[in-house]
A and B are shown apart, each in its own frame.
Chain A
Amino acid sequence: MTDKTSVVVAQVAGPAVEKGEEAVTTAARPAEPRSVKVRLEGVTRSYPGPDGGAVVALQDVDLAVREGEFVAIVGPSGCGKSTLLRLVAGLQETTSGTIDRHHSGSARPDTAMVFQDHALFPWRTVLRNVTFGLENRGTPKREAWEIAARELQKLGLTGFASAYPHQLSGGMKQRVGIARALASDAEILLMDEPLGALDAQTRTVLQDQILDLRKADPSLTCLYVTHAIDEAVFLADRIILMTARPGRVKEEVAVDLGAGRDSSVRGTAAFAKLAQDIWEHLRSEVEAAMQQESARSSP
């Protein structure tokens, strides 16, 4: 396992970094300068390929996420979206480039991740899954339980505290995964296709729920990886479109559907238009990715 701290190249205090911002976030909303929670500069990640060469998963990615921002990353499969998230989480190391994470100096961890296949510990009950991060930080048991109970309530899981993961449906498991991440009160929430394994209806319900969580806590900062364009448009302030491998930032799109949007926004013309525009941008990349895929599987 990579040591989490080893990736932190430098700790940058929020307001000190203003330059370079414009170059990266061309389409960012002109909001008041809030502290930057995580900043990636020229991040490249490669690994040894089949014929001794290097496969470049990510190349020269620049990205900054500010406090209270919800940034979605969308791209074809294999574009390195998940790798990007793992780099930010410190689960993998960059090949070159830097990742600066904001650190308030408190016991708050830098990141908390929601995994696509929920990654709940099957040997722990729902409650003890949610307290896992707190336990590792030495939070007193009573306090940890209170925090966990609060988060479980937020996600409508109050009655299931003592259930084991295998007793829950897919959607409930993922809600526990989200509760676990929220409970650890990290600087930035990382979500790796959290709804990717769910059926369409459950997904819609959970999207609404994530939106509610945002409204309830305006300071919630989130980096959200998905391949579903409608999901990104529905949830995010800003969408980063990635190219096929090697993954680079192709474009940034601001989502101006209003902070107070709710479930009904899905039916609006603006929503459909935005989703359509993004798809136009992405189509060529998806086709390129499919070609890569077939090139790899044929001898």
Chain B
Amino acid sequence: MTVTTGPATTNEATTDAATGTRRPRRTTRGFIRRHWLSVLSPLVALALWEFASRSGMVSPVLFPPPSAIAVHAVEVLTSEPEFGGHIWATVRRLLLTAGIAAVAGILVGTLITVTRFVGTGVENLLAFIFPVPSLLFLPMITFLVGRTETALLLTAAVTPVLIMVNATVFGMRQIDRSLVEAGRHYGARGTRFFSGVLLPGAMAAIVPGFRVALGFSLITVVALEMVMSETGLGAVLWLSWRILQVQDMYVALLVVAILGLLVTRGLNAVMDRLAPWQATGNTP
């Protein structure tokens, strides 16, 4: 879709007009001219690493030069289907965890909002366990469902679900009273009230909440893979470190970093789609 560049450009232009400093140009050249420091500084860092490793200032076994890692990454990603399987395992877990979080979180959040008394109780109970890292629920969950994939997913979902509950409750409570009254006045009841007023009204809080939840899902999925799985990027990180397959470790780390970037950056686009009335744009 080429349409997306339109609003993005105007957005940037107005910001610049307001600050009165930079001139907007959406070309690669313009980007480099404006952000040359941001292009240069990581290159310098990589070059230093390359030099340190090649000259033996740091151990080339533990810290292979970036160029070697890049070559290895291409090799692994193109010729080892097993590695692709690990990536897919992590992505699949990430999506499932996020899915559980979204469905359960919005459901529980809605129930908390509409049932006053019990709702507040449940809300406070969830608030109590919120600071506990998901990982600590692993033992309890394995007692229930064994050391299974289900245990991994349920454990990873704990904090994300709580985040989605919070976001939903917050979003629904901050809907303008007059909108709620207007919805009732025009006859929205039951599920129609939920899908017509509550959910869209709370979307502005739910979508950013989902982004946070997704970030937490990635953290816990990777940590759980380190603890209890033979598949996934977390497992690769942990096992390749144990047997000093250092290059594999770096490639896994690289992929995890890219996943992290996608989770935060990619979601901005989704966010603009799902709640277009909440113009997020490029946060200045």
Q: In the complex, A touching B, CB below 8 Å?
A: yes
Q: Which residues of A are in contact with B by a Cβ distance under 8 Å?
A: 47-52, 55
Listed by A's residue number, 21 A-B pairs whose Cβ atoms lie within 8 Å are: A47-B17, A47-B20, A48-B16, A48-B17, A48-B20, A48-B21, A48-B22, A48-B23, A49-B13, A49-B17, A50-B10, A50-B13, A50-B14, A50-B16, A50-B17, A50-B24, A51-B13, A52-B23, A52-B24, A52-B25, A55-B17
Q: Chain B: interface secondary structure?
A: loop
How distant is B29 from chain A, measured CB to nearest CB, in Å? Answer: 14
Name the B residues within 8 Å of A48 (CB-CB).
16-17, 20-23
- Bound Cα distance A117, B10 (Å): 28
Give bound CA distance, A51 to B20, whole Å: 13
How many residues in B have their beta carbons less than 8 Å from beta carbons of A?
Answer: 11
The docked-state distance in angstroms from the alpha carbon of A23 to that of B24 is 40
Q: A250 → chain B, closest Cβ, in Å?
A: 24
Inter-chain CA distance A48–B25, complex, in Å, is 12
Q: How far is the CA of A266 from the CA of B203 in the complex (A)?
A: 51
Contacts of A55 in B (CB 8 A): 17
Question: Chain A residues near B24 (CB, 8 Å)?
Answer: 50, 52
**Chain B residue, CB-CB nearest to A296:** B14
Which residues of the partner chain B approach A50 to less than 8 Å between Cβ atoms?
10, 13-14, 16-17, 24
Complex formed: what's the CA distance from A200 to B222 in Å? 61
Contacts of B20 in A (CB 8 A): 47-48
Interface string of B1-44 (1 = CB under 8 A from A): 00000000010011011001111110000000000000000000
A residues less than 8 Å from B17 (CB atoms): 47-50, 55
Tell me, in angstroms, the Cα distance from A59 to B14 when the chains sit together. 21
CA distance in complex: A272, B57 (Å): 85
Question: How far is B24's CA from A48's CA once the two chains are assembled, in angstroms?
Answer: 9
- Shortest Cβ distance from residue B31 to the other chain A in the assembled complex, whole angstroms: 15
Nearest opposing residue in chain A for B20, CB measure: A47
Docked complex Cα distance between A52 and B14 (Å): 11
- The distance from the CB of B25 to the nearest CB of chain A, in whole angstroms, is 7
A110 and B230 CA atoms in complex are apart in Å by 72
Interface flags for B171-182 (1: CB within 8 Å of A; 0: not) read 000000000000
Q: Which residue of A lies closest to B22 (CB)?
A: A48
**Within the assembled complex, what's the spacing in Å between the Cα atoms of A49 and B17?**
6
Chain B, Cβ-Cβ closest to A48: B23
**When A and B form their complex, which 3 residue pairs have the shortest distance between CB atoms, in order from nearest?**
A50-B13, A47-B20, A48-B23
| Distance from B223 Cβ to chain A, minimum over Cβ atoms (Å) | 40
